């Protein structure tokens, strides 16, 4: 069958043929043709990760490698968390801000002995690179976009360690949460990181792009790993209250508004956006991102209007029917006065105002990593 121009324009990960062979439903996402689900369906994939082990192809993510004498100072300047406090072999979550103090992207920061790796969202890759390079002039560093060189497989679930350990000589039990090691899995060398976006235990495996199919096939050959798509990735992260850039956070909100104040280390020194954050903190945070549940069987979809005391208050950022809880859950921004758990709000679901209650995430309390 001839491909359309649109299909030709989409990038593909190194695992594209594996997804096709497994019967994945492929959709455009962040400029890539990505699997949204496999034949078993999103709910089955979701439960596999909560109860066993699943694998996601997230090779579309961007990776920047920073080197040079000033690498720590530079990454500290362009992110909000304190890179200087990272030990070699440790990783943390952070945000990249603009001068307004709003979020250009959220990211992971990996501290190696000779380099730092920034992992950014695929949709923001070019924008992020241009943004951080604007601030590189005053630092003795090089910044290299290595995104196309890496594939990234996320092996997630309470059984992830037991499934992976026979495939590697690296002692996985010695890798703490948000720490990593450099080793090999199924004969493929790379970075083995105890991180993820599901709330469950698990590992993210950064490997050379050309080796990704061999690693993917080895994981599935165990018979204990379920291939999972972007649909389950979204429902899993939402049950944990984890932010998705472009839905829950973007360049119109600050970390304080986006419930990410814990990523802001004002005491570390100067960084991009700090003056704006200090001003907002002094003036008071006007709105906050909150979680909510809906008692009715109405699903609060992204973009549905939100009302507080009968007045419009933005829209639903993320929303779904929780596969594990059987209730509708979502996130939205509300005035700070209504951000406390228990506050009553309403969601306009196709013209019907449905009552909702603000709750403190995570919605799902039984994950192996909270």
**Per residue in 228-267, pLDDT tens?**
999 999 999 999 999 999 999 999 999 999 999 999 999 9
Indicate the pLDDT class of residue 162, thresholds 50, 70 and 90: very high
Q: What would the mean pLDDT of 98-127 be, rounded to a whole number?
A: 98
d(CA 233, CA 268): 33
Q: Please give the order of strands across the beta sheet that includes 103-111.
A: 90-97, 103-111, 116-120, 62-67, 142-145
Half-sphere exposure (CA, 13 Å, Cβ side) for 240?
A: 22
The structure tokens listed for 35 are 């699997």
pLDDT at 352 over 50: yes
**How much is the CA Rg of the chain, to the nearest whole Å?**
21
Q: What would the mean pLDDT of 336-355 be, rounded to a whole number?
A: 97
pLDDT at 213 over 90: yes
pLDDT score at 369: 78
Q: Name residue, tokens 């993320």.
A: 318
Q: Residue 6: left (phi > 0), alpha (psi -120 to 50), or beta?
A: alpha
**Which residues are 350's β-sheet partners?**
none
Q: What would the mean pLDDT of 4-30 be, rounded to a whole number?
A: 88
Neighbour-count burial of 14, counting CB atoms closer than 10 A to its CB (0-12 exposed, 13-18 middle, 19+ buried) = buried
With pLDDT > 70 as the criterion, what percentage of the chain qualifies? 98
CB 320 within 8 A of CB 299: yes
Average pLDDT, the chain: 96
pLDDT at 1 over 50: no
List of domains in the chain: 1-284 (3.30.1360.120), 286-370 (2.40.30.110)
pLDDT at 360 over 90: yes
Q: Residue 352: left (phi > 0), alpha (psi -120 to 50), or beta?
A: beta
**Per residue in 165-200, pLDDT tens?**
999 999 999 999 999 999 999 999 999 999 999 999
pLDDT score at 8: 58
Phi, psi of 33 (to 5 degrees): -95, 110
3-state secondary structure (DSSP) of residue 322:
coil
pLDDT score at 3: 47
- The more confidently predicted of residues 119 and 9 is 119
CB 260 within 8 A of CB 95: yes
CB 293 within 8 A of CB 327: yes
The structure tokens listed for 49 are 């990760």
pLDDT at 6 over 60: no
Q: Residue 233: left (phi > 0), alpha (psi -120 to 50), or beta?
A: alpha
Q: Which of 85, 109, 83, 107 is nearest to 95 (CA)?
A: 107
pLDDT score at 205: 98
pLDDT at 137 over 90: yes
With pLDDT > 90 as the criterion, what percentage of the chain qualifies? 96
pLDDT at 5 over 60: no
The Cα-based distances of 50 to 36, 59, 165, 227, 275 in angstroms read: 18, 22, 19, 13, 41
């Amino acid at each position: 069958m001839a491909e359309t121009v649109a299909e030709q324009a989409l990038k593909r990960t190194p695992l594209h043929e594996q997804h096709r062979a497994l019967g994945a439903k492929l959709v455009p996402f962040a400029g890539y043709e990505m699997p949204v689900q496999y034949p078993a369906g999103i709910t089955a994939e979701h439960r596999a990760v909560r109860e066993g082990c699943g694998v996601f192809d997230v090779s579309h993510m961007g990776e920047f490698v920073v080197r040079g004498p000033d690498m720590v100072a530079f990454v500290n300047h362009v992110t909000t968390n304190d890179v200087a406090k990272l030990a070699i072999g440790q990783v943390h979550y952070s945000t990249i801000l603009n001068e307004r103090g709003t979020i250009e992207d959220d990211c992971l920061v990996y501290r190696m002995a000779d380099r730092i790796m920034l992992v950014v969202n695929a949709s923001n890759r070019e924008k992020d690179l241009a943004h951080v390079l604007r601030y590189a002039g005053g630092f003795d560093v090089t910044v290299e976009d290595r995104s196309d060189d890496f594939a990234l497989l996320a092996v997630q679930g309470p059984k992830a360690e037991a499934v992976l350990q026979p495939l590697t000589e690296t002692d996985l039990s010695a890798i703490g949460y948000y720490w990593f090691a450099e080793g090999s899995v199924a004969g493929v060398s790379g970075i083995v990181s105890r991180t993820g976006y599901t709330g469950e235990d698990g590992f993210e495996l950064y490997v050379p792009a050309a080796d990704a199919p061999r690693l993917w096939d080895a994981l599935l050959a165990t018979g204990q790993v379920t291939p999972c798509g972007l649909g389950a990735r979204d429902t899993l992260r939402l049950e944990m209250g984890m932010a998705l850039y472009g839905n829950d956070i973007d360049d119109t909100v600050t970390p304080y508004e986006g419930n990410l104040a814990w990523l802001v280390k004002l005491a570390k020194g100067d960084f991009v956006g700090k003056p704006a954050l200090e001003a907002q903190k002094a003036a008071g945070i006007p709105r906050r991102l909150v979680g909510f549940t809906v008692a009715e069987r109405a699903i609060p979809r992204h973009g549905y209007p939100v009302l507080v005391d009968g007045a419009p208050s933005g829209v639903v950022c993320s929303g779904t029917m929780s596969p594990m809880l059987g209730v509708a859950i979502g996130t939205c921004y509300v005035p700070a006065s209504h951000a406390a758990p228990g506050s009553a709000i309403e969601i306009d679901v196709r013209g019907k105002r449905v009552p909702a209650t603000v709750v403190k995430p995570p919605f799902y309390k039984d994950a192996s990593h909270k």
